[in-house]
Amino acid sequence: MLQFYIIYVILFISSACFLIKWFFSSSSSHKILPPSPPKLPIFGNIHQLGMHPHLSLHSLAQRHGPLMLLHFGRVPVLIISCANAARKITKTYDLIFSNRPKSMIKYKLFYDGKDVAFAPYGEYWRKIRSLCVLQLLSNFRVQSFKTVREEEISLFMKKIESYASLTIPVNLSEMFSLFTNDVVCRAAFGRKYSEGEGGRKFKELFGELGQLLGGFYIGDFIPWLRWVNYFSGIDAKANKVAKEFDEFLDKVVEEHLHGQEREIKNHGSQEGKDFVDVLLEVQKDNKDDFSFDIVTIKALILDVFAGGTDTTYTLMEWAMAELLRHPRVMKELQNEVRRIANGKQNVKEEDLDKMHYLKAVLKETLRLHPPLPLSVPRESTQDVKIMGYNISAGTTVITNVWAIGRDPTSWDKPHDFSPERFLNNSIDFKGHDFQLIPFGAGRRGCPGTLFAMATNEIVLANLVHRFDWSLPVGTKPEDLDMTECTGITAHRMIPLRVVATPTFQ
Ligand code: HEM
């Protein structure tokens, strides 16, 4: 009882101090600030986020404009909802907006920001980012996992065939998730962790990590409410997940350090090396005077999992869902893929370059269903003026990628699923066309784009080549539920269940 009494008194005093400070600071400012919706004292606009923040922020932006200033607690948060403003943040003033805001829970999970995604902008981040870009996720490295992708696709197709022979609908969402996990595990660790008791635990742990990453932590925005994380059990959960991942990664690194046999097998060739092999080798060589320890290796591997699995399989889910809702597009895609495969049972990666419609289908899916509808937040490190508005140092910036993808000033009939819009132009998702930035752009843009798209393209091509697809009896294409679930990655709320008919018997 006494404990609660003390908490109430602290809350009351802190609120009073906050209100006084807030009143004086807002009346003394002469800056031109972006439009803001009305806010509550202390909490600011937090209450307006809702279960699907990208949707709530989109409707707020329609009233207040594509550059809108909110407050989450005491933190100013700039919401970007148009291509032009996104260009300013990730190109014109990219350097100023290359920091990431600090988050207590993310720091707990990611080794105090020793990973790439949450590290503050600076020398350390530059070094590990270049490790990631040049060593782990380069074109060369992505190509080196071609056999991994081919083997996993072959297993995936066999599983679907076994369902098809029983005429049972396939839970494609679940299968995409398992497939992506297996591919990323093999690329990162050289082996899978999806089978048996260990596999179940790994999946569970991974689910908990995803939940924690998708949470909203009031203490990040109102520091004196940090105790909420403690009392709600979030701190304890984050500590547990961080500890279990750390133990798991320790074991993986240990296995690699003592994996003499594997080294002999590889004969020093780059083929067949997984991410842990590569990182241990770079650490040993210490070529460019950047020494890093095992903690950095574990943090980088964790990033690959957190950034690379859920996002990749979400794109597969939505692409198939849209194809099922649009039989004309499915037919067009099957015609292209089957013509280029030219009677072969499997589509090969070499065939993909010629599949322009396939690429257009994936771009259109990324436009309408960006796996991260709100990009990973950035933070400004200097005062700057953007589109006539003053933005202070220390402002968090959130880009509403979902809203940009549906902005009628950038896209004709923005709500239609029409891959044709990408056929006669060079618009791409690589971070130069700001109306399509599902992978972000600029210095902190996603380094895993090649890895993700290599996987997505080959999976989709084989799925539509090897099978004809239909919805379970009684579901019409236009009735397919397209609701998104909550969380950082916008999965389908209802798993995608479909019937597959093999085209090769
Ligand atoms: C469809 C799949 C993916 C999507 C939609 C996606 C999207 C994104 C976005 C929006 C960002 C933030 C960009 C910014 O701040 O401008 C990001 C960052 C990042 N992504 Fe991805 N990503 C995907 C796949 C991957 C994969 C496969 C990996 C690794 C194997 C990966 C690793 C990372 C990392 C490490 C960062 C942080 C970069 C930094 O802060 O410097 N992502 N991703």
pLDDT at 27 over 80: no
Distance between CA atoms of 185 and 317, rounded to whole angstroms? 20
Q: What is the CATH number of the domain that holds 263?
A: 1.10.630.10
Q: What is the atom index within ligand 1 of the atom nearest the CA of 125? A: 41
Does residue 15 sit in the same domain as residue 136? no
Q: What is the dihedral of CA 157, 454, 110, 394, to 10 degrees?
A: -140
Q: Is the CB of 113 under 6 A from ligand 1?
A: no
Cβ neighbors of 262 (< 8 A, separation 6 or more) are 190, 256, 277
417-428 per-position pLDDT tens digit = 999 999 999 999
pLDDT at 61 over 50: yes
65 three-class SS: coil
Distance between CA atoms of 370 and 84, rounded to whole angstroms? 18
C-alpha 118 – ligand 1 centre gap (Å): 11
348-399 per-position pLDDT tens digit = 999 999 999 999 999 999 999 999 999 999 999 999 999 999 999 999 999 9
The answer to whether position 166 is within a domain reads yes
Mean pLDDT, rounded, for 22-44: 79
Residue whose Cα lies nearest atom 19 of ligand 1: it is 446
Does residue 171 sit in the same domain as residue 304? yes
pLDDT value of position 19: 52
Residue with tokens 């594997």: 262
pLDDT at 429 over 70: yes
Q: What is the atom index within ligand 1 of the atom nearest the CA of 129? A: 41
Q: Is the CB of 430 under 6 A from ligand 1?
A: no
Does residue 334 sit in the same domain as residue 218? yes
pLDDT at 489 over 70: yes
The answer to whether position 45 is within a domain reads no
Does residue 137 sit in the same domain as residue 249? yes
pLDDT at 303 over 70: yes
Element housing 386 (H / E): strand 384-386
Q: What is the atom index within ligand 1 of the atom nearest the CA of 137? A: 30
Does residue 23 sit in the same domain as residue 138? no
Element housing 465 (H / E): helix 449-466
The answer to whether position 38 is within a domain reads no
User: Which of 10-19, 68-77, 262-271 ranks highest by mean pLDDT?
Assistant: 68-77
pLDDT value of position 288: 66
C-alpha 171 – ligand 1 centre gap (Å): 26
pLDDT value of position 7: 44
The number of folded domains in the chain is 2
Other beta carbons within 10 angstroms of residue 200's beta carbon come to: 12
Q: Is the CB of 312 under 6 A from ligand 1?
A: yes
234-272 per-position pLDDT tens digit = 999 999 999 999 999 999 999 999 875 555 455 555 567
Cross-strand partners of 399: 80
C-alpha 392 – ligand 1 centre gap (Å): 26
Provide the residue range defining the domain that includes 374.
123-502
Q: Are 101 and 107 in contact (CB under 8 A)?
A: no
Q: Are 181 and 189 in contact (CB under 8 A)?
A: no
Distance between CA atoms of 55 and 34, rounded to whole angstroms? 20
pLDDT band at 6 (very low <50, low <70, confident <90, very high): very low
C-alpha 8 – ligand 1 centre gap (Å): 42
78-97 per-position pLDDT tens digit = 999 999 999 999 999 999 99
pLDDT at 151 over 60: yes
The answer to whether position 73 is within a domain reads no
The answer to whether position 321 is within a domain reads yes
Does residue 415 sit in the same domain as residue 290? yes
Q: Is the CB of 376 under 6 A from ligand 1?
A: yes
pLDDT value of position 198: 78
Distance between CA atoms of 477 and 338, rounded to whole angstroms? 23
Q: In 110-222, where does DSSP find H-type helix?
A: 123-130, 139-144, 146-165, 172-189, 196-214
Q: Is the CB of 447 under 6 A from ligand 1?
A: yes
Distance between CA atoms of 402 and 64, rounded to whole angstroms? 17
Q: Are 245 and 208 in contact (CB under 8 A)?
A: no
How many residues in the chain? 505
